[in-house]
Structure 1
Amino acid sequence: MVGFIGVALVFVMVFGGYVLAGGKMGIILKALPFEMVMIGGAAVGAFVISNDMTTIKHTLKDIGKVFKGPKWKPQDYTDGMCLLFELIRVARSNPVALEEHIESPSTSTIFGKYPRIAADTETIALICDTLRSASMNYDDPHQVEEVLEKRIEATMEHNLHSTHALQSVADGLPALGIVAAVLGVIKTMASIDQPPEVLGKMIGGALVGTFLGVFLAYGLVGPFSARVNAVINEDGHFQRMIREILVANLHRHAPNICIEVGRQNAPTHLRPEFGVLEAALKGLKQEAA
């Protein structure tokens, strides 16, 4: 919703201010389709040239994040802590029983309680791989923490490719706008024998190219890139919380302490209250009993 409001504000303020100042929309509307073909088409072409198919698909998909916002909500953080609490309790009490959950998460009764988390393959792989390694005695907390940090950084770097691609387009749009404007000037110069009122409209149409390139760059594509970047970084806190809990588990802290470490590492606006989380964990204990 915030994304839609932002886009609407950009259009209303720019074009509304122009009209209130006495500007005529006719010249812009007449030139807009042709300028958009030149500038938008060139921007899309440059985007395709500079990126592989995976990045192109990834970028198109990530544009939706501008309007959807972060994937992980406050309830997901609570669910993530409850999931890890159950897995840690099983690992401590019956390591053999843990194998059926981490080797086949899709059929696990524990993972099945949290479908939103279970649907995220990277998060599930992060949890299962770490618990599997611990069961094979790769349980040095410091080494595992370093491995997890590098893994999360690599995932973040991959996820941020789309923001770099969008920002590259935003950086190039003003120059493409100038290209379109120059072509408009060339067209105008070819009609230099026309009366001033005709030349004025032609020059105005040419300047629409410059306006459109700058407007798209700083009013839409650049902010889209920044928003996608912010959403991806915020979603990254979810895996960092998981890392803290898994490392605390390797330090052999009590399950409740492990979860509290994760809770305190969650972002403030997504962090569940202590009492709410404690009640959820108490319910899991009663269910297990």
Structure 2
Amino acid sequence: MIGIVGILVIFVMVFGGYILAGGKMGIILKALPFEFMMIGGAAAGAFLISNDMAGVKHTLKDMGKVFKGSKWKHDDYKDLLCLLFELIRLARQNPVGLEEHVEAPDESNIFTKYPKILADKEAIALICDTLRSASMNYDDPHQVEEVLEKRIEANLTHALHSPHAMAAVGDGLPALGIVAAVLGVIKTMASIDQPPEILGKMIGGALVGTFLGVFLAYGLVGPFSAKMQSVIEEDGHFYQLIREVLVANLHNHATNICIEVGRQNTPGHHRPSFSELEEALKEVKTEAA
């Protein structure tokens, strides 16, 4: 919602100020379709040239993050801590019993209690792969932490391709606007024998290209890219929390301490309070009993 509000504010302030200052929209509206065709079409073509099809689809999909915001909410972090609590406690009480859960999480009565987390393949892979490795005696906390850190960093780098691709398009839009404006000037120069009132409109139409390129770059595409990057980086905290809890487990801290490490590493605006989490863990224990 806030993304839509931001777009409305941009258009109202820019064009509202132009109209209040005595500007007329007629010349802009007349030139806009042709200028947008040149600038937008060239930007789309450059985007296709610089990305493969997977990158194009990924970027278009991630544009929705501007309006949806972060995937993981307050309750999701609480659910994740409860899930990790159950798995760690089971791993210590019955290591053999844990195997069926990490090998087939879709059929696990623990994982299926948290459908949103279960639907995230990377989160489930991080949890299951780490717990499986620990059961095979690959349990050196420092080595596991390094492996998880590299894996999370690689996933983040891949996820950030979308905002970087959008930023590259935004960087090129002002130059493409100049290209469209130059073409407009060329067209004007070919009609130099026309009266001043006609030439004035033609020059004004050419300048729409410069305006449109700069407006799209800094008013829309640039902010879209920044918002996408912000959301992706915020979602990355979810996977870092998994790493922190599982590494704390390998250090053989008490189960409650492992979960508290995770709680304190949760972003502040999503972090459950100590009492709130304690109440949720009590419910988990009651269900398990």
Structure 2-normalised TM-score? 0.99
User: Which letter does structure 2 place at the counterpart of 1:181?
Assistant: A
**Alignment match, 1:154:** 154
SS at match of 1:139: coil
**Alignment match, 1:200:** 200
Question: Could you tell me how far apart the structure 1 residues matched to 2:108 and 2:27 are?
Answer: 63
Q: CA deviation at 1:239?
A: 0.5
Matched, 1:176 2:176: yes
**Alignment match, 1:104:** 104
Q: CA deviation at 1:8?
A: 0.7
User: Which letter does structure 2 place at the counterpart of 1:65?
Assistant: K
Q: CA deviation at 1:287?
A: 1.5
**Alignment match, 1:128:** 128
**Alignment match, 1:47:** 47
Q: CA deviation at 1:283?
A: 1.1
**Alignment match, 1:88:** 88
Alignment of 1:206-221 (within 5 A): 206-221=206-221
Question: Could you tell me how far apart the structure 2 residues matched to 1:287 and 1:63 are?
Answer: 40
**Alignment match, 1:115:** 115
Q: Deviations over 1:126-169 (max 9, x none)?
A: 00000000000000001100110000000000000001100000
User: Which letter does structure 2 place at the counterpart of 1:37?
Assistant: M
How high is the sequence identity, in percent, across the aligned residues?
Answer: 77
User: Which letter does structure 2 place at the counterpart of 1:93?
Assistant: Q
Q: Deviations over 1:71-108 (max 9, x none)?
A: 00000000000000000011011111111110011111
Alignment of 1:257-276 (within 5 A): 257-276=257-276
**Alignment match, 2:279:** 279
User: Which letter does structure 2 place at the counterpart of 1:114?
Assistant: Y
Structure 1-normalised TM-score? 0.99
Question: Could you tell me how far apart the structure 2 residues matched to 1:33 and 1:130 are?
Answer: 55
Question: Could you tell me how far apart the structure 1 residues matched to 2:83 and 2:42 are?
Answer: 48
Q: CA deviation at 1:198?
A: 0.3
**Alignment match, 1:76:** 76
- Superposed CA RMSD: 0.5
Give aligned pairs, total: 289
Q: CA deviation at 1:226?
A: 0.2
Runs (4 or more) in structure 1 with deviation over 3 Å come to none
Question: Could you tell me how far apart the structure 2 residues matched to 1:271 and 1:167 are?
Answer: 31
Q: CA deviation at 1:286?
A: 1.6
Q: CA deviation at 1:17?
A: 0.5
